Every structure is written in structure tokens, then in C-alpha cells.
Amino acid sequence: EVQLLESGGKLVQPGGSLRLSCVASGYTFTNYAMAWVRQSPGKGLEWVSSISGSGDRISYADSVKGRFSISSDTSKNTLYLQMNNLRAEDTATYYCAKKILGSNPFDDWGQGTLVTVSS
Amino acid sequence: EIVMTQSPATLSVSPGERATLSCRASQTVYSNLAWYQQKPGQAPRLLVYGAFNRATGVPPRFSGSGSGTDFTLTISSLQSEDSAVYYCQQYDRWPLTFGGGTKAEIK
């Protein structure tokens, strides 16, 4: 059974930094691309960033480009999202999601971790 | 960026009736279209990908259709557990984009 467990979300001040983690289990981590998707309170879904299973292909939404950095540690089966220069509009539940083999839909999701950016 | 527009915003259907949800892309996404279901307090769940392929474990009452710019998710006989928000997502071009969602309510 695939399991994705996010952690690291908390209250942070504007301009601050935070690193989210997502530990994956139940499948071969390097075979599947992964992504971060966020959801502001009461709002819809927004794709944030994706990384290939090998880690050599990365994409970002324009809203986070230059501030967020996605990475993975294959020895720990863990996906990361380093978030710098946080803004109030980054407040959201952040989900890690596993992509379908060879494609972009997300077939497994974590439970989410809440990031609140406020002074 | 491809803009995904879903309609209606809210859908109220009696149990056992058919529910039809629409999704329109601002430009063609071919068949690179997925549907997700999200219940309150839960993560989204993949229902359909490739416009019409049901994901593993999804009941056959859920079906997807369409291609190009116009897509439909049909729930043939709405059950109480289908009360949720449904999102479409295009994955033909970066950035990946989602529609604003349709909330399906049980009458």
C-alpha cells in the first residue's frame, strides 16, 4: 500500500523559510515522479512543483519560482519542498502527490501539512 | 497557461439520479485530462485520467468523456457518499492547472 506522510508545516512570519518533507513507502520511489500541490483555506487546488523520479527534471509554478525549491533523497524515500521568502498568499495545506507511471495525473496523495504565513 | 473552467459551481441531485459535471479548457488538452474527488478534510482522490480511464478502485458509476476542450464527468446514479467537490486537471502543458471545482450535493 502506498503511503505518503508530510510534515514540517507550521506558523511562520512573512519573509521566513520552511522546509516540508514527505516520506514515501509502499512502492519503488525512484520509479515515479512526485509533486507538491497546495490548497488555500476554502479554495481550490494549485500545482506548485514537480520532480522526476531520478530528480533530473524539475518544474515550478510561476507563483513560487525563485522562492521554492523541490528536491528528493532517494536513500530516504523522501521528497522535500524548501520554501523561502514566504508570503501571506502561500498560506495553504500542502499535499505531496505521486504521479501515475509515465504521466502527470496524481494517483496517490498524502494527508497534507498546513503552512500558515502570518505576523 | 491553460485555464480550466468548471460548471456548474454547485450541483444538487437526488439520490439515484444522474449528475453531469462539465470542464472546459481554454485551449486543447487532447485527452490529457483528469478528474478528482475531494471530501471535507480529506486529500483529493483520482477518479479518471486520460479523459475516460477510471482509476483503480473507482466504482463504474463514475465515467469520463470528451476530448480537446470539452469534458464531462458523469455519475450515473448518485449515492450519498458521492457528496464532494470535484476538480478537473489538465496535464497536457506546463503549468499543470486545475479547474475551480464543482460541489455535488445530495438533495
Q: In this structure, what C-alpha cell is assigned to residue A39?
A: 490548497
Taking contacts as CB-CB distances below 8 angstroms, the residues of chain B near A109 are 43-45
Alpha-carbon distance B4 to B89, whole Å? Answer: 7
End-to-end CA distance of chain B: 36
Taking contacts as CB-CB distances below 8 angstroms, the residues of chain B near A112 are 43
- Residues B33-91 pLDDT 10s: 999 999 999 999 999 999 999 999 999 999 999 999 999 999 999 999 999 999 999 99
Nearest CA in chain A to B57: A107
Q: In this structure, what C-alpha cell is assigned to residue A116?
A: 500558515
Alpha-carbon distance B9 to B19, whole Å? Answer: 13
- Residues B87-97 pLDDT 10s: 999 999 999 99
A27 part of contact set with chain B, CB < 8 Å? no
Contact A75, A68 (CB under 8 A): no
Do residue A44 and residue B87 have CB atoms under 8 angstroms apart?
yes
Which regions of chain A are under pLDDT 50?
A: none
Do residue B96 and residue A104 have CB atoms under 8 angstroms apart?
yes
Specify the pLDDT at position A82: 98
Interface test with A, best of B3, B90, B91, B96 (most A CBs within 10 A): B96
Specify the pLDDT at position A104: 83
Contact B103, B13 (CB under 8 A): no
B87 part of contact set with chain A, CB < 8 Å? yes
Residue A32: CA count within 13 A, CB half-sphere:
24
Looking at CA atoms only, how far is residue B16 from chain A in angstroms? 27
Nearest to B98 among A45, A100, A112 (CB): A45
Taking contacts as CB-CB distances below 8 angstroms, the residues of chain A near B99 are 44
Do residue A106 and residue B97 have CB atoms under 8 angstroms apart?
no
